[in-house]
Amino acid sequence: MHLQPFDLNDIIHEPSDEQLDDLMEAVAAAARRHADAARAQLMLRLQAEISAINLPFRREA
């Protein structure tokens, strides 16, 4: 995806609706990637902590 450069602070040359839509899509995609990476790290940590628990051996009657 190639975004046209623009300055959000430039009130004389405001970005087009298409540019703003592209920006919002790029922000949303970056947020999804960040959330996916964080979720994966949390799952690995959770699995490691669950594996580290030493449960006492229980015999079934």
13, 17, 56, 60 from 10: Cα distances, Å: 6, 15, 66, 73
Residue 50 is which amino acid? I
State which amino acid sits at residue 30: A
Per-residue pLDDT of the chain (61 residues; tens, 9 = 90+): 566 677 878 888 888 889 899 999 999 999 999 999 999 999 999 999 988 887 766 666 5
Whether the model pTM is above 0.85: no
